[in-house]
Amino acid sequence: MACVEYEFQFVVDGVGVDDEAVVDVVHEEFDGLLTRHRDRHLLDVSETGANTIDAAHRIVVRLRRALPGLRLLRIDPDLVGVSDIAERTGRTRQNVQQWVNGERRAGKERFPAPEGVAGRSPVWRWGDVNAWLAGIGEGDGVHVPTREEALQIDYLLPHWRRTLDDGLPLVNVVAAAEYDEYGEGRGAVRKLLEGTLAVPGVLESISAFPRLEQQRLTVVCAVLTDRLDSVVSRIGHDETWAVLAFVGPNGELHLQPLGTREAQGTVPLSRLGLGPDATVGDLLLVQTNGPDRPVAPMTPVGLD
């Protein structure tokens, strides 16, 4: 899974810049920065992920493990005016105003709409501006959340906090593949999975699956024709365990624990009589009609 580094600036509480132990953890474990601006504490950290939400998901888990007392309240919008944009891009105010007015635009995308007004001047989210600049070859190469992404993270943060407070893992749901003709089928699996996870006790049962990372669990949604090696490619670079979700021929949802070759205690595919080209459907057949005896669905399977 290709990963990109994203930078986040969270508004936080539960910690302070006067706590040297916290400041040291932020700096040494996250290469981050904790600052205070008037009555707010801001935390600047970065994390890699397949997309902005995935990276936010990862950094929330890491921060919870290292700093249990930290509360992430929301993404700071990092509002900028024309002068700020000029300073960050090394352009003149006139150049920036021409971008805003649509007079100097290399692409067809209009300059982002302002987030609001400070005094009498419009202000924009830097994430939106930087994404627009990247589209015309003027970006700084730093990936920060856009307005839409920041609002989604703000919405998810309380849910993630409650889940971790309950001692349950944050579930990261991904598709086994993208941009092919089976996307609708994987979407149906995801919808069925989300409904199933809402049933009391289900997430607790999945949490009992063997894995090293106890606060994060990746679930890969697949269709029967998906190759198992494509499932492996969707497991995070820092993970060795995941759960495969797929729908059987009778519309039933299957949840199969999987491990990479580094995972301990798994049954290798070769021992199940499956080769490198095996599909999810092949695994289902082995589970129900194994050559010697059925393979229990909850048997952790090791993927190469």
Could you read off the pLDDT of 143-188 as tens digits, one per residue? 999 999 999 999 999 999 999 999 889 998 999 988 889 999 999 9
Residue 206 pLDDT = 79
Spacing of C-alpha 63 from chain mean position = 14
Q: State the pLDDT confidence band at 304, using cuts at 50, 70 and 90.
A: low
293 falls in which pLDDT band (50, 70, 90)? very low
Within its chain, how far is the Cα of 282 from the centroid? 29
The pLDDT of residue 295 = 45
- Element (H or E) spanning 85, and its range? helix 82-89
Would you place residue 241 in the very low, low, confident or very high pLDDT band (cuts 50, 70, 90)?
A: confident
Any residues with CB less than 8 A from the CB of 294 and at least 6 apart, and which? 287, 288
**CATH hierarchy code of domain 4-78+145-159:** 3.30.70
**Single pTM value for the model:** 0.81
For the chain, what is the radius of gyration of the CA atoms?
Answer: 23
* 105: its two tokens: 């635009």
Mean pLDDT value of segment 281-300: 66
Closest CA to 72 of 81, 82, 61: 61
pLDDT-based confidence at 84, cuts 50/70/90? very high
**Confidence category of residue 105, pLDDT binned at 50, 70, 90:** low
Owner of token pair 């600049």 = 133
Rounded average pLDDT over 17-26? 96
Q: Domain segments of the chain: what residues?
A: 4-78+145-159, 79-135, 169-302
Q: pLDDT class for 81, splitting at 50, 70, 90?
A: very high
Higher-confidence residue: 285 or 148?
A: 148
Structure tokens at 143: 């990936």
Question: Could you give the strand order of the β-sheet that contains 121-125, starting from the edge strand earlier in sequence?
Answer: 79-80, 121-125, 116-118
Output the pLDDT for position 137: 85
Given this model, what pLDDT does residue 211 score? Answer: 65
From the list 134, 82, 127, 129, the residue with the least C-alpha distance to 106 is 134
pLDDT at 291 over 60: no
Predicted confidence band of residue 83 (pLDDT cuts 50, 70, 90): very high
List the single range of 13-22, 28-37, 138-147, 200-209 with lowest mean pLDDT.
200-209
Q: Is the pLDDT of residue 290 over 80?
A: no
Q: What percentage of the chain has pLDDT greater than the value 90?
A: 56
Residue 220, pLDDT > 50, answer yes
Report the pLDDT value the prediction gives residue 148, as an integer from 0 to 100.
95
Of the given ranges (16-30, 87-101, 222-236, 251-265), which has the lowest mean pLDDT?
251-265
Ranking 32-36, 54-58, 214-218 by mean pLDDT, the lowest is: 214-218
